[in-house]
Amino acid sequence: MALRHAVLAALLDGEYSGYQLAKAFDVGVANFWHALPQQLYAELAKLEKEGLVAGRQVVQESRPNKRLFHVTDAGRAELEEFAAAVSKPSFIRDDLLVKVQVADRIGTAPVIEQLEKRAAEAEAKIELFGKLLRQMRGDADEEEFLRRAERIGPYLTCLRGLAFEQGHRDWCLRIATVLRERQTTHAAR
Amino acid sequence: MALRHAVLAALLDGEYSGYQLAKAFDVGVANFWHALPQQLYAELAKLEKEGLVAGRQVVQESRPNKRLFHVTDAGRAELEEFAAAVSKPSFIRDDLLVKVQVADRIGTAPVIEQLEKRAAEAEAKIELFGKLLRQMRGDADEEEFLRRAERIGPYLTCLRGLAFEQGHRDWCLRIATVLRERQTTHAAR
DNA sequence: GCAGATTAGTCATTTTCTTGATTATGATGC
DNA sequence: GCATCATAATCAAGAAAATGACTAATCTGC
């Protein structure tokens, strides 16, 4: 029961269709969770059956009809319970780390390539998150915004996303450099 | 097929029993992957059946007997293939982020507590990783070590673990402070 | 005017991960 | 001397997540 609460959290800020949620939980903007469309549609169905969210049909002319969902009182209560419960620790789980772990034993070239590709992807996300943050806080500076604004949840999670991507980018570039230099100096193997 | 390669990677540095692996993949030292004992025993069984690892029985007197595993040539080939294949992007997936996302809507107190607990856990890991790094590089300074040492894979992944935990700790403390200050100034809700 | 992208959603299968319980022995703490 | 911890592993069940394929409409670019 994990995606469940992420969906409720995302729906707290308004009505969204499964499709819209899917976009938010996919590339980039997934600043606090990630999931595929199929998972979201399935989770929404379950949540609706349990009365934690409710949907309403919206008939569209130029587009397929859609269903917009919002959190019910029961859903809000569920979220409150969740927020008070102990959270499970978060672990890193990343293909690239496994590859780096063995890079010096089994050929560094392909790993270096991937590190640099990753760094570029991280860079793109950094820019995206930077834009989102600026958008959210408007004219105010950050301190000011965090003190006064009504709604800061999304800003705070986005900050974590930004820091994560910066750390990721820095590490990727550093490791790529280290491996590259060893390639030329160690020459052999 | 992901844990699979993490296990192969871990076994690259020597022979380990399922139990030993389980400890390495559990708390703390899981600097590049995390898994429970049951998963590891299951994965080892599969890997052995496919000939990617081989085990040998070690009879012990003062302890239950154990089986030590090592990577076979086929296993090493599998790892090489894996290292060259595209890696799937890494996503944050963390209960706490979900809670922060909704904290300002549904009671901040329990979330602040958890943020501070997390920060302390991160701090503990930071110290652990710091010790591990010092241990691995011995007398040499980092630059020196990374240029000259035979085996640097585990050092590099540990660096990522360290940076991740530092980022995590900093964010937790910052957000806890922000939420706490809002609690007193915003007073209401 | 047609290919391809975008919006909107569903179904089925498989893989992975988590939870919980169970066995057995020796070592360690008090 | 008894309780508990550490070593070493297995089994079963269930929840969660990932993969792949499919429908159907409209809008956009060339």
**Tens-place pLDDT, residues B57-103:** 988 777 778 999 999 999 999 999 999 999 988 888 899 999 999 99
Q: How far is A81 from chain B (nearest CA, A)?
A: 10
Rounded-to-integer distance, Cα A108 and Cα A103, Å? 5
Residue with CA nearest to D16's C1' atom: A1
Rounded-to-integer distance, Cα B104 and Cα B82, Å? 43
In this prediction, residue B189 carries a pLDDT of 45
Rounded-to-integer distance, Cα A43 and Cα A148, Å? 34
The answer to whether B54 touches B48, Cβ cutoff 8 Å, is yes
The answer to whether A102 touches B32, Cβ cutoff 8 Å, is no
- Rounded to whole angstroms, the distance from the CA of residue B89 to the C1' of nucleotide D11 is 34
Q: Is the model's pLDDT at A43 over the cut of 90?
A: yes
Rounded-to-integer distance, Cα A92 and Cα B28, Å? 11
In this prediction, residue A167 carries a pLDDT of 97
Q: Which residues, in sequence order, are bridge partners of residue B70? A: B54
Rounded-to-integer distance, Cα A48 and Cα A75, Å? 10
Rounded-to-integer distance, Cα A172 and Cα A112, Å? 9
Q: Which residues of A spanning 101-140 put their CB closer than 7 angstroms to strand C? A: none
In this prediction, residue A32 carries a pLDDT of 84
- Percent of the residues in chain B that have a pLDDT greater than 90, as a whole number: 80
Rounded-to-integer distance, Cα B54 and Cα B78, Å? 14
Q: Which two tokens stand for residue A158?
A: 């986005």
A64 contacts: CB under 8 Å, gap ≥ 6: none
Q: What is the pTM of this model?
A: 0.93
- Rounded to whole angstroms, the distance from the CA of residue A34 to the C1' of nucleotide C8 is 20
Q: How far apart are the first and last CA of chain B?
A: 47
Mean pLDDT of chain B: 92
Could you say which residues from 8 to 27 on chain B have a Cβ atom under 8 Å away from some Cβ of chain A? 8-10, 12
Rounded-to-integer distance, Cα B87 and Cα A111, Å? 10
In this prediction, residue A28 carries a pLDDT of 56
In this prediction, residue B62 carries a pLDDT of 73
In chain A, the DSSP E strands lie at 16-17, 53-58, 66-71
Question: CB neighbours (10 Å) of residue B22?
Answer: 18
The residue type found at B33 is: W
Q: Is the model's pLDDT at B105 over the cut of 80?
A: yes
Rounded-to-integer distance, Cα B71 and Cα A52, Å? 49
- Rounded to whole angstroms, the distance from the CA of residue B30 to the C1' of nucleotide C18 is 17
Of B87, B114, B185, the CB nearest to A87: B114
Of A6, A167, A178, the CB nearest to B98: A6
Q: Is the model's pLDDT at B187 over the cut of 60?
A: no
* Chain-chain contact of B100 with A170 (C-beta, under 8 angstroms): no
Q: Is the model's pLDDT at B3 over the cut of 90?
A: yes
Rounded mean pLDDT, A65-81: 95
Rounded-to-integer distance, Cα B118 and Cα B180, Å? 16
Enumerate the residues of chain B whose CB falls inside 8 A of the CB of residue A31.
92, 97
- Cβ-Cβ pairs closer than 8 A, A with B, add up to 206
* Chain-chain contact of A101 with B153 (C-beta, under 8 angstroms): yes
Rounded mean pLDDT, B151-172: 96
In this prediction, residue A157 carries a pLDDT of 95
- Rounded to whole angstroms, the distance from the CA of residue A22 to the C1' of nucleotide D27 is 20
Q: Is the model's pLDDT at A31 over the cut of 80?
A: no
